Structure 1
Amino acid sequence: MTIHFLQNIFEKSINGEWGNEDSGNGEATAVIRTSNFLNSGRLNLDNIVCRDIDKNKNSDKILRTGDIIIEKSGGSPNQPVGRVVYFDVTDQDYFTNNFTSILRVKPGYNSKYIFYLMKYLYDTKKVLKFQNQTTGIINLKLTDYLNKTKVNIETIENQNTIVDILDRLEYQIINRNKQLSELSNLVKSRFNEMFGDIFDNPQSKLEDHTELNPNKKELLNFNGNVSFLPMSNVSENGKIDLSINRNIDDVRKGFTFFKDNDVIVAKITPCFENGKGAPVFGLLNGVGFGSTEFHVLRPKNTVNTVWLYHVTMLSKFRLEGERKMTGSGGQRRITKDFINNFKLNIPPLSLQNEFADFVAQVDKSQFACQKAIKLWRNSLKSSII
């Protein structure tokens, strides 16, 4: 094992190239942007752009297998600039934009090993002291980063062995993430298979089967600390974090009350851009208080709470909710009237319960996948260290 500065591992860093707008003559080349970066270090090329770039003039900037692309402008308060991705795409020529640079590994090193090393430096926040923020944009002082960062380098034989181990771990993680996605799609397919179009010629209103924003009279039964749920603790996919506690005397008034098996619907959406977007939802497993920006739906005895939650997640409800929002800008809201008057068909409770049992089995499989992914991610980090 030997110690090197990063600058000694790479050829001179190569700036990205943006070129000109596609003229439509069929000669445009694909350009990778930081929006194509995944935090796993892989590329997502679904939304690739094409630009007119002179390949002869910029031949050294055409990406090669084994190149490492580093983000040098971007980032956010929660995500430092300096992410890296590994380039191994061979279907066509690619450039990378001018918010990035290409790090081309010198001969004698395994480029994938160096990529894993660079990703470790990013994940352990070694890039933070090389950030420079101007006019709201966070920049990476790349030259300083490469010149001042020392790393331990294994022999080429050990590099190859380590890459083989890490690649196999990463492959397992990718497969399990794919399985998670397939399980989520399975639930959607099962819902459609069992209930069809519940919005076709609807016969019921939600207010007939749920209690909206239940009365807080049950508060008399509680003392001490209870869960408190701000909107920031509900993700767009419905995951809820109930880790915040407050004393009940501080939140008896002015907050939404919820308990086990209630469904929440955000009146506004944390991820709005210019006031546009669909509301977020969640299924509660606990007792406590929430932001006044939530509506709480409590199922009556004709509705299974898991079934109700999946109804609120359907595009029909989400899109109608967005369309019926009132107000302007980032403060547009879903009203109580929209929820109460939302029409749908209610299937027999026995079928709803059967669907909920199916979801519970899928949840177990998803939990097993998530547990395996967490284990392998920890193994990946440990192996890199």
Structure 2
Amino acid sequence: MTIPVQKLSTFCKTGSGGTPSRSNNNFFENGTIPWVKSGELKNRYITEIEEYITDLAIEKSSAKLVAKGSLLIAMYGATVGEVSQLTFDATTNQAICNILPDENICDVNYLYRFLEASKPYLLSRRVGGGQPNISQGIIKDLEIPLPPLSEQRRIASILDKVDELRQKRQQAIAKLDQLLQATFIDMFGDPVSNPKGWNIVKVGNIVDEFIGGKNVECPDESDSPYKILKVSAVTSKVYKSSESKIAPNGFVPNNLAIVKKGDLLFSRANTTELVAATAYIWQTPDNIVLPDKLWKFSISDEAKVNKLYLWDLFKNTEFRNELSKLSSGTSGSMKNISKGKLNELKMPLPPKELQEKFAEISTKLWSEIEIYKQSSDTLEKLFKSIQNKAFSGTL
């Protein structure tokens, strides 16, 4: 059966918003109208927001009221390509495209799932320099397969059910990680205020060197046996060797830049929210190489510090705030941390025996997390497979 295809613009109302001038207090003070920013498009549904604007702001700016149920796509910024759905009437900034389909032609949940699956394509169409963006025109030109509404709802329902299972696995992983973070605080206290009075040392007194790779342009195809990590390999604070690109033909890595089990990786360059992300390598293929934007900790004297203690120290929210303060850069989308500044950062150093005790707890919890991760990875593959079948008419 041939499924009819229509451009999104033929059956959807679309638009974008605006940012009222912050120099006029009357636009924000005592505001009651929700104003959504692109950085808030992180989950399926928008249920809470940070800022509100006034009726005057709508009257005097390009911000417009968007109806409850509308879909929102981030056109640029840290969440570019992400899709969310409004659970209340709201306004948005100019970095968001709002979409409301004709319910007689397209089910909104089906369209959400299609747009979610279209993220890789949309990202491939970004243009611009420091902060590449997706234009509203590209979104409006998306060609949407439109089976009968009953079939659209069936597809959306199947994807919803698999996604629910996927989310439950992720929530279980998050709870175990929260338990480990709570254990860290219980054993060591807040690492910034240091209520337990541990010795304070500079990071450079513990870490001999931060080793990075080179900035290598990776092709789409190559016969190289090596893969080069992307920054996204550590942004979730969990190492993902799959977040890598094939190296060019003839690439010969520095042996020190090849990552190994037991390495601790650090993102020295990323957006303000993601810079300084740190991940420990429990296991990895032996052909994975560091890029220029990721460093690994080189520690010759491990009698002083356990890497699992360091990992949770660098993941701690308060300590991450201190790390973030070290970042610099004029670009709004990319920040950098220098080795010099990182080496000078002060950190608490509890007794090694206590660090080792924490490392034992961490290892046990992460073995449990790994079981959930394997299940989660299986569900992720299933979800992607169903997505592909759903929008090619073979589900």
Q: Tell me the TM-score normalised to structure 1 length.
A: 0.67
Equivalent pair of 2:72/2:99 in contact (CA under 8 Å): yes
1:62 counterpart = 2:57: no
**In the alignment, which residue of structure 2 is the partner of 1:218?**
none
**In the alignment, which residue of structure 2 is the partner of 1:34?**
38
CA positional deviation for 1:165: 1.8
**In the alignment, which residue of structure 2 is the partner of 1:217?**
none
CA distance in 2, matches of 1:249, 1:14: 49
- The verdict on how the C-alpha distance between 1:344 and 1:30 changes in structure 2, with shifts beyond 3 A counting, is same
Give the 3-state SS of the residue equivalent to 2:101 in structure 1.
Answer: coil
Q: Specify which of 129, 146, 149 is matched with residue 153 of structure 1.
A: 146
Specify the structure having the higher radius of gyration (Cα).
1
> How does 1:160-179 map onto structure 2 within 5 Å?
160-179=153-172
Superposed CA offset, 1:118-137 (max 9, x none) = 444x23627866x6659966
Equivalent pair of 2:123/2:134 in contact (CA under 8 Å): no
Which range moves more in the overlay, 331-340 or 172-181?
331-340
- The verdict on how the C-alpha distance between 1:301 and 1:375 changes in structure 2, with shifts beyond 3 A counting, is same
**In the alignment, which residue of structure 2 is the partner of 1:221?**
none
**In the alignment, which residue of structure 1 is the partner of 2:76?**
74
CA positional deviation for 1:311: 3.8
CA distance in 1, matches of 2:347, 2:163: 48
Unaligned runs of 5+ in 1: 215-224
Q: Specify which of 358, 368, 380 is matched with residue 362 of structure 1.
A: 368
CA distance in 1, matches of 2:57, 2:232: 48
1:306 counterpart = 2:299: no
CA positional deviation for 1:16: 3.2
Superposed CA offset, 1:260-285 (max 9, x none) = 4344567xx21265xx9974434345
Instruction: Give aligned-pair identity as a percent.
Output: 12
Give the 3-state SS of the residue equivalent to 2:121 in structure 1.
Answer: coil
- The verdict on how the C-alpha distance between 1:331 and 1:302 changes in structure 2, with shifts beyond 3 A counting, is closer
1:140 counterpart = 2:139: no
CA distance in 2, matches of 1:54, 1:341: 45
The code of the aligned residue for 1:117 comes to: F
> How does 1:269-280 map onto structure 2 within 5 Å?
269-271=268-270, 279-280=276-277
Cα RMSD (Å)? 5.1
- The verdict on how the C-alpha distance between 1:350 and 1:96 changes in structure 2, with shifts beyond 3 A counting, is closer
Superposed CA offset, 1:4-40 (max 9, x none) = 42357525434535456552663441122322223x6
- The verdict on how the C-alpha distance between 1:323 and 1:227 changes in structure 2, with shifts beyond 3 A counting, is same
Equivalent pair of 1:304/1:353 in contact (CA under 8 Å): yes
**In the alignment, which residue of structure 2 is the partner of 1:95?**
91
Give the 3-state SS of the residue equivalent to 1:86 in structure 2.
Answer: strand
Unaligned runs of 5+ in 2: 211-223
CA positional deviation for 1:154: 1.8
